Chains A and B, each alone.
Chain A
Amino acid sequence: MEFDFIPIILSLKVAFASVVIVTCSCIPIASFMAKHEFVGKDVVESLIALPLVLPPSVIGFMLLVFFGKNGPMGKLLEQWFQIKVVFTLAGAVIAAAVVSFPLMYQAVKAAIESIDQNLEQAARTLGAREYRVFFTITLPLAWNGIMAGFVLAFARSLGEFGATLMIAGNIPGKTQTMPLAIYFDNDAGDLRQASILVILMTVFSFLVIYGVNRWRRGLRRDSRGDGI
């Protein structure tokens, strides 16, 4: 039987779309949370981190309720934009984005919090407006943390299984991503296809973790600097 590449392509599409959504939403939210204190901040942060600890089936169930045909967002998206979420690749993207958001959020927030506040204050004393401070000081100095979060979120999106199965289903050629294909190929006794996908995912995940660790070690070495 010929090897089926479509799950790999679908997984890559889902992971890329998911990290784009997560990056665009995470940077402003994490920046705001890193800089502001308000009543209920702990509650908001706990809600953001919830997908890290909730079983995927619970996330999938919530997404179905929210984005289903009769759910508030599901109705809105279908009526206004003719976008269906359930049993489509859009559902897989949303599931991947929800589970990878906390990883990106934590990486970006930690990176922004680690910036010496005097640098941002110095920029203000030099006449910079807030948007200039953000784009010329905060963002470049948090860049490595953002990239680390980006890679982790990509890897997490690629590996998403439970919530994706619940909201996007397992439709070969349409919503069957790599993790789903591995499960169902194994179930159907196609061990060759499953094994290749398992090897690919394992190698990729190893490279991501190895790469991020090497990068962080390099950054720690750089931050010590070659001071005189």
Chain B
Amino acid sequence: MFKAHFKKKLPTFELEVDISLSQGILALVGSSGAGKTTILQCLAGLQTPSWGEINIHDKIVFSSEYGKDVPIRNRHIGYLFQDYALFPHMTVEKNVVYGKPKKGSNPNKALTATNVLQMLKIEHLRNRYPKQISGGEKQRVALARALMTEPELLLLDEPLSALDQDTRSSLQQELLKLQAQWQIPFILVTHDVQEAEMLGDQIIKLDHGKQEVLKKLTIAQ
């Protein structure tokens, strides 16, 4: 279960967020500069909210009231950057295992790089460098890298925006499958309302820091 209620002062407006999610995909839509990425960064700990509280799995990771701000590395959140942020000096395999916990939190998953690479159909790329692979492949590598950390929540910042239409459609399907398979909440930022409708179990539209619920959660909580 993930729950966040916080405010963040931005140069031109104040962002106000009140979201919760136990399962499925929450899609955040809005035009550029609406504060979508800021929300993800506050959740991940890359930015600090001005006020509020963030709970992940009933653990408070940020609270202005109690002066708590858990470091990024201890939040157990997977983050997929818009430009994928793959380490250019490491092979695909080294990228993927970078965040692998020393002891897996869930021994039943027995997560290995090979499992994840196979699941995302990128095993053949394991010895390549990021500059030697295509945009869609980079996206899969970034997903594999984020999943290797066994996150409790996955944040995706416009993960499909740089891809062509065909790759985009196939990856949309893969994201849906992956979420069903992985059983952790995903929060997806996109400026494409159609994409949000296709992927989101909940859809929230952002406009100058204010949120409007476009679609409520209908799956069983």
Contacts and interface: CB of A to CB of B under 8 A. Distances in A.
A226 B85 contact: no
A123 B142 CA distance: 12
B87 A137 contact: yes
Nearest to A225: B131
A137 to B, nearest CB: 6
B33 to A, nearest CB: 18
Contacts of B81: 118, 121-122
Contacts of B83: 116, 118
A223 to B, nearest CB: 9
Identify whether the interface residues of A are mostly helix, strand, loop, or mixed. Answer: helix
Interface in A109-125: 116, 118-119, 121-125
B99 A126 contact: yes
Contacts of A147: none
Contact of B132 (A119, A122, A129, A226): A226
B77 interface: yes
A127 B101 contact: yes
A125 B89 contact: no
A123 B79 CA distance: 10
B88 A125 contact: no
B189 to A, nearest CB: 15
A208 to B, nearest CB: 25
A124 B73 contact: yes
A127 B87 CA distance: 15
Interface in A11-65: none
A49 B156 CA distance: 43
B78 A125 contact: yes
A127 B131 contact: no
A125 B132 contact: no
Contacts of B73: 124-129
Contact of A122 (B79, B131, B134): B79
B36 interface: no
Contacts of B133: 228
A141 interface: yes
B95 to A, nearest CB: 9
Nearest to A137: B87
Chain A to chain B: the 6 pairs with minimum beta-carbon distance, closest first: A126-B99, A225-B131, A122-B85, A125-B79, A118-B85, A228-B134
5 contacts: A116-B85, A121-B85, A122-B81, A125-B72, A125-B79
